Structure 1
Amino acid sequence: MTKLLIVESPEKAEVIQGWLGDGWTVAASKGHIRDLPEDEMGVEAPDFRPKYTFIPGRLIPGEKGKRYPGSKERVAWLKTQADRASAVYLATDPDREGESISWHLQQALQLKSPHRVTFAEITPTAVKAALASPRSIDMQLVAAQEARRVLDRMVGYMVSPVVSDLAGQQLSAGRTQSPAVWLVVQREREIAGFKPTHHFGVQLNFAGAKSSWHALWETQPDYASEDAPYFMDEGFAQRVASVPELTVEHFEATERKRSPPGAFTTVTLQQAASVRLGYTPGKTMELAQALFDKGHITYHRTDNPNVSEEVLGDIFAVASRLGLDMADEPRKFKVSAAAQAGHPACTPTRWDVEEAGEGAEQIALYKLIRIRAIACQLADARYAVHTAGLRADPPEVGRPTLKFTATGRTLTYSGWLKLMAGDDTDEDKEPEALNPVPTLQASDVVSVESGEVLRKQTKAPKRYTEASLVGKLEAEGIGRPSTYAAIMETIIPKRGYVEVVDKKFLRPTPKGVAVVDALLGRFSFVEPGFTRGMEERLDEIAQGRDGYKSVVGRLHDDLQAELSRVQDGLPKFACATCGKSLRRIVAKGKAFWGCSGHPECKVTLPDVDGKPGERIAKEPPVTTSFACGKCGKPLVHRRKQGAGGYDFFSCSGFKEGCKQAYENKDGSPDYPEAK
């Protein structure tokens, strides 16, 4: 009998099948096979046991009525393969989500003792090493992932109806999506409330033996302070710019080193791909998944910027071939306190391969990953730094001495920058010479060639881009590497709470503002600090220091308490038809009341001073003496008051094909004026 290895993607299965050969069948689960039901919360107190269902098929775009098969069909096929196998190995992705998929496969396929294997890269060596050292499914990781899914579902199902009631429109809340929208709304309000401060500085320019250089006026602490940091007297600044000469107080020549950044984590990969390639986080992850499945890169969902020690020799070989110098010691980069650091950084699997992937987009992303991974272990760039402190007498008697600083640096050794040449971002590129300050001596007097007033103003904070918002989410501890792209997908195209303006900047929509305002001050989960704490509790489940039921139960109790307080302050009106609560809804600028049991109950009532009014029946149409302006037949007056009401005239010859209609204007049809 053959052994069965189950991975997630068909592409990965095809690659690995070629390595293992006879005696093995490699099959794909195609990702998740079970989830909570689509039409209910799927989990209840007090045991909080999730109710899982197979994932239904979805419609094929452009193919009317045709659907992709659901996971039930996939599982049935995998079951036949598992029944024929002598042993089953589950090789889903090496993270909590992958561990959860393996557990769902075990349950759905009724496997008694499957072997769990993981590999952070798709290479023959890594795959065969993993198969030689299988383990059992880590139920702590499964519990952590299950808790994440259940917490998200509870927030969505328990809070969204109340948020909709508060906002008067259909809205949804999310455990991680709502804090993300809150950040965008908060930034937009900072921008709207920003008032620029106009202030002034001075730059004095000098002619050097080789090239010109400059010094800047230091306004603090003599002409400004930390409490009032801006100098705002333009007339005085103009007189400072007219100073004819400066005296050198001190001069220092030093060397500064600049180290390379670490290899890519999920967040830094998404940010770099956004800046340099114009990819959204979702697109970046899609391309990276394809590169991983084909064995070109190591696992891309990681928050660890360090490469493994095993690849240092590979980097050294590539560096030697390219004429690049390695760092004296292997570099270790700081890992954030919230990082799981379970996998090394995202790197190529074959360091000598300069180009990999299918299509220009995959190839470009692969090159970005490879260059960054090589550069992280190269030697520092070095700069010669000249710093001079200079002074001059003030243009007014009794004012403090004017102090200036000139700082310049010249690149003396490229180090890792040699590999990054041509990079057009501020992160990895500096001009080779900036303000080449010459060697000076204390007491030297230098003549000013020209002076200029620097007219400045404080700037409002910038709107987030998708990449910078992902970075902020990571800094705030909201979500994890596997969730960032999904958060962006949810708040932008799916829910429409955030929109992209000027091709890259994020701005909240009115719906986004409404959902944040409905949540703030009422529900604690919208605050980043709460979400960060919840992520830490999920980590504790994964590490065995807390339990699924404990964490889920605490959030459930907190939500129930907050919901009770909010609902106590909401007006309570019951639907006379089904007994469920009515909610006030605003649509197209008009308010009305609708049953919360919609779509089963379609009761609507007019809004009268913020309360549901009496249901007004539709009035029978009345044939009038007004004639249709198109065919001459009598017009019919049609009216309905209240929610969804109307008042207009239409042609009685509708069935004969005349669809002419007119608005009611003071009791008469509003005929269009003849041209």
Structure 2
Amino acid sequence: MKLLIIESAGKTEKLQAILGPNWRVAASLGHICDLPDREIGVEPPRYKPQYTLSERGRSIIGRLRSQCERVQEIYIGTDADREGEAIAWHLARELKLGRDAKRVRFSAITQEVVSQAIAAPTGIDYNLVGAQEARRVLDRLVGYIVSPVLSKMGGTTLSAGRVQSPAVALVVQREREIAAFVSTHHFHVRLDFQGKQERNTVFAEAKTVTSSWSALWAVVPDLAPEEQPYFQDRDFALKVASLDSVIVDSCEDGRRRRAPHPPLATSGMQQAASVKLQLDPEDTMRIAQRLFESGHITYHRTDNPNISADDFPQIQAVALANEWTMAPKLRQFKTSDAAQAGHPAITPTHWDVTEAGDTEDEKALYRLIRQRAIASQLGDAIYNTRTAWLSGQVSGKDVRFQGKGEQLQEPGWLKLLSDEADESNEVWEGGAPNPLPLLSAGQQLAPIGGEVLAKQTRAPKRYSKASLIEKLEVEGIGRPATYASIMSNIERRSYIAVKQQFLYPTETAYYIVDQLSKAFSFVDVAFTREVEAELDKIASGKATYLATVQACHDQLNRELATLDVGETAAPRFPCPECGSAMRRIPGKTGHFWGCSSYPACSATRPDADGHPGEKETPKDSGHACPSCGKPLLRRTKKGKEGYDFWGCAGFKDGCRTSFPNKRGKPDLSQKNKGGLHNNT
């Protein structure tokens, strides 16, 4: 009897069916141990992580030990990434399997892939374990060293993260770019022509037809330099639009090839699912996990946009059955410099299965994955093109116009992804296709009309979760397995607000980014990219865990020393009575704000969405205190220890006169000098 230990319980039934009766399959349910909850768990000079079993981990290890005693061989088949490798090492250590524990990795849960992996087990890759440890420890150092300082400065619990903070900084930077943007108004011109569409041209028709077409004024470089490509003289643009004749300088026919998109890697899947299926990145990863566990798709955490060469013949068979044109050979797509490319792109495990999954979301995501993977190996879409250059004169100055048109000749991969056919079509002002007739150089044309097109430059678009993930990937920040959790964390901590799918930084986000930027390198995308590259070097054996962690920790401490967090630092929320910092304090009925100089200063303020609110002013009864003449104020508090009475506004000056509340007014007949009336 043999035992296979995997991560997810969702895979056990499928693997048990593949392996047969001589096997048992058990799940660790993810990580069984981690750094301790309430202490940093790692100290110089060795930076050895102090792992502890979680409460759930102790229960799981107890169950697994019992199963290990009843089998002859034990295999560890956790996920084939850094996290999975770390889990495999923890399992081997806690189950006392030794450093030579049998390690197997599956890129898909199919009979063939699983059988090949079981037949050729390897050892645990300790370079990958070291890379995962370094990431975890660096995240812990940043969190435990910087977050308390940031919280002290901000007067409330704030979080700094090695990857989280740069993501927030990108959103803040974009919002500031939008706020600082000044729109430039400028002008273009469109000339319209009536032309005869001839038979047997590149835009072949069954018969000769008459149709209109357009040409646009090529402002750059004629009258606007490249460094300032905006023409702002409306009067001159009106003259250009009034031209009564132009000359054809040239007219050329050609072809344009449009290649398909690559298959989906993790970030691409999250982006495509967000745009096409309106799925949140975290939901996308959960759905993909279920598809993987059910054996429908290959491993879904990858930054490689290429499929295996072994899959090409299977795609050919699907294409032949559907009469789709294949690419002449396997397409290879460029990977980013930071990509690990440890696993192929996400693909179906059975190419001929057109639908898979139990829910509508699972089926939709499966279709998206399958269609993108198949389309990536189909033939190019080919367009017939025609480009004409026209010229004229306005007020003694030469002006040129360009007319462009194209027509899809061979759909290629667009036969499968027809919804993307219009993405690259030449569409001119007014939204109509532009069917140019066959023109001859030197031919004189008379426009049938012209229009000045008023334009204005637009501010950069706010990030959506999908576009922020794309930016993080381009900048080399984070890795496929981390993108969804980054988005979830910064939203859960209220550092961003999501409105109509766009990300807005909160006031807290501005504060965090501004404070961190004063001292710390990790908030800068370039530094974070370098750290990610260093982690990759650890994974490949080109760098060591200790040297990497020590260098980052030393830099963190140097930067921390430059930050003013002492008495001279200006508090984020100064006390309105003494100027000291206000602190957000948890109370029995929620948070409130109190002065950090307490008991010397006892000023308090209610919490208003994470900020000190205005001081609550009790309602005036309109009656004067009979003891000292100051107003009587209504004082209330809800809850089990609540009260509702009217007391003298001179309480702090020594007047303790109070009256019970009666129908919203002080009951002056029940004077209680020196005490409180608790009405229940």
1:208-223 mapped onto 2 (5 Å cutoff) = 208-209=195-196, 210=209, 211-223=211-223
1:222-621 mapped onto 2 (5 Å cutoff) = 222-394=222-394, 396-397=395-396, 400-423=397-420, 426=423, 434-493=433-492, 495-501=493-499, 503-566=500-563, 569-572=564-567, 584=571, 586=573, 592-593=580-581, 606=595, 612=597, 615-616=600-601
Question: SS in structure 1 opposite 2:305?
Answer: coil
User: 2:404, 2:426 within 8 Å by CA — same for their partners in 1?
Assistant: no
Cα drift, residue 238 of structure 1: 0.8
Tell me, in whole angstroms, the C-alpha distance in 2 between the residues paired with 1:72 and 1:629: 56
Cα drift, residue 304 of structure 1: 1.0
Tell me, in whole angstroms, the C-alpha distance in 2 between the residues paired with 1:167 and 1:618: 18
Letter of the 1:181 counterpart:
V
Tell me, in whole angstroms, the C-alpha distance in 2 between the residues paired with 1:550 and 1:123: 41
Tell me, in whole angstroms, the C-alpha distance in 1 between the residues paired with 2:289 and 2:249: 58
Q: 1:132 aligns with which of 119, 137, 142?
A: 119
Q: 2:177 aligns with which of 170, 181, 190?
A: 190
1:636 aligns with 2:647: yes
Tell me, in whole angstroms, the C-alpha distance in 2 between the residues paired with 1:17 and 1:639: 78
Cα distance per residue 1:137-158 (max 9 Å; x no partner): 0000000001001101100110
Change (3 A) 1:55 1:630: closer
Cα drift, residue 449 of structure 1: 1.1
Change (3 A) 1:141 1:623: farther
Of 206-215 and 542-551, more deviation after overlay is shown by 206-215
Tell me, in whole angstroms, the C-alpha distance in 2 between the residues paired with 1:551 and 1:639: 63
Cα drift, residue 367 of structure 1: 0.3
Tell me, in whole angstroms, the C-alpha distance in 1 between the residues paired with 2:375 and 2:651: 72
Tell me, in whole angstroms, the C-alpha distance in 1 between the residues paired with 2:229 and 2:599: 62
User: 2:625, 2:657 within 8 Å by CA — same for their partners in 1?
Assistant: no
Question: SS in structure 1 opposite 2:69?
Answer: helix
Change (3 A) 1:649 1:187: farther
Tell me, in whole angstroms, the C-alpha distance in 2 between the residues paired with 1:267 and 1:629: 58
Cα distance per residue 1:572-614 (max 9 Å; x no partner): 49xxxxxxxx995639989654799999xx999747xxxx486
User: 1:4, 1:88 within 8 Å by CA — same for their partners in 2?
Assistant: yes
Relative to the length of structure 2, the TM-score reads 0.85
Cα drift, residue 71 of structure 1: 2.2
1:81 aligns with 2:90: no
Tell me, in whole angstroms, the C-alpha distance in 2 between the residues paired with 1:276 and 1:424: 15
Tell me, in whole angstroms, the C-alpha distance in 2 between the residues paired with 1:25 and 1:428: 56
Tell me, in whole angstroms, the C-alpha distance in 1 between the residues paired with 2:256 and 2:80: 40
Structure 1 residues not aligned, in runs of 5+: 57-69, 574-581, 663-675
Partner of 2:27: 28
User: 1:618, 1:639 within 8 Å by CA — same for their partners in 2?
Assistant: no
Tell me, in whole angstroms, the C-alpha distance in 1 between the residues paired with 2:525 and 2:348: 34
User: 2:406, 2:425 within 8 Å by CA — same for their partners in 1?
Assistant: no
User: 2:142, 2:162 within 8 Å by CA — same for their partners in 1?
Assistant: yes
Cα drift, residue 313 of structure 1: 1.1
Question: SS in structure 2 opposite 1:401?
Answer: strand
Question: SS in structure 1 opposite 2:365?
Answer: helix
User: 2:190, 2:217 within 8 Å by CA — same for their partners in 1?
Assistant: yes
Partner of 1:116: 103
Partner of 1:179: 166
1:7-18 mapped onto 2 (5 Å cutoff) = 7-18=6-17
Cα distance per residue 1:504-554 (max 9 Å; x no partner): 000100111110011113101100000000000000100111111110000
Cα drift, residue 651 of structure 1: 6.2
Structure 2 residues not aligned, in runs of 5+: 197-208, 605-623, 637-643, 668-680
Change (3 A) 1:235 1:648: farther
Tell me, in whole angstroms, the C-alpha distance in 2 between the residues paired with 1:587 and 1:270: 43
Question: SS in structure 2 opposite 1:208?
Answer: strand
Of 35-44 and 552-561, more deviation after overlay is shown by 35-44
Q: 1:97 aligns with which of 83, 98, 121?
A: 83
Change (3 A) 1:444 1:293: same
User: 2:108, 2:297 within 8 Å by CA — same for their partners in 1?
Assistant: yes
Question: SS in structure 2 opposite 1:384?
Answer: strand
Change (3 A) 1:647 1:36: farther
Letter of the 1:456 counterpart:
K
Tell me, in whole angstroms, the C-alpha distance in 1 between the residues paired with 2:94 and 2:657: 60
Of 588-597 and 407-416, more deviation after overlay is shown by 588-597
Change (3 A) 1:553 1:73: same
1:203 aligns with 2:200: no
Tell me, in whole angstroms, the C-alpha distance in 2 between the residues paired with 1:149 and 1:522: 22
Change (3 A) 1:384 1:658: same
1:148 aligns with 2:147: no
Change (3 A) 1:588 1:490: farther
Cα drift, residue 659 of structure 1: 9.1
Question: SS in structure 1 opposite 2:459?
Answer: coil
Tell me, in whole angstroms, the C-alpha distance in 1 between the residues paired with 2:332 and 2:666: 75
State the aligned residue count.
618
Cα drift, residue 164 of structure 1: 2.2
Tell me, in whole angstroms, the C-alpha distance in 2 between the residues paired with 1:107 and 1:429: 61
Alignment RMSD (CA, Å): 3.3
Question: SS in structure 1 opposite 2:382?
Answer: strand
Cα distance per residue 1:392-415 (max 9 Å; x no partner): 121x13xx2111111111111100
User: 2:82, 2:131 within 8 Å by CA — same for their partners in 1?
Assistant: yes
Cα drift, residue 434 of structure 1: 3.4
Tell me, in whole angstroms, the C-alpha distance in 1 between the residues paired with 2:182 and 2:537: 44
User: 2:477, 2:528 within 8 Å by CA — same for their partners in 1?
Assistant: yes
User: 1:638, 1:649 within 8 Å by CA — same for their partners in 2?
Assistant: no
Tell me, in whole angstroms, the C-alpha distance in 2 between the residues paired with 1:339 and 1:252: 41
Question: SS in structure 1 opposite 2:84?
Answer: helix
Cα distance per residue 1:290-342 (max 9 Å; x no partner): 10011000011111111101111110111111110101121111111111111
Fraction of identical pairs, as percent: 45
User: 2:155, 2:581 within 8 Å by CA — same for their partners in 1?
Assistant: no
Cα drift, residue 165 of structure 1: 3.0
Partner of 2:151: 164
User: 2:426, 2:434 within 8 Å by CA — same for their partners in 1?
Assistant: no
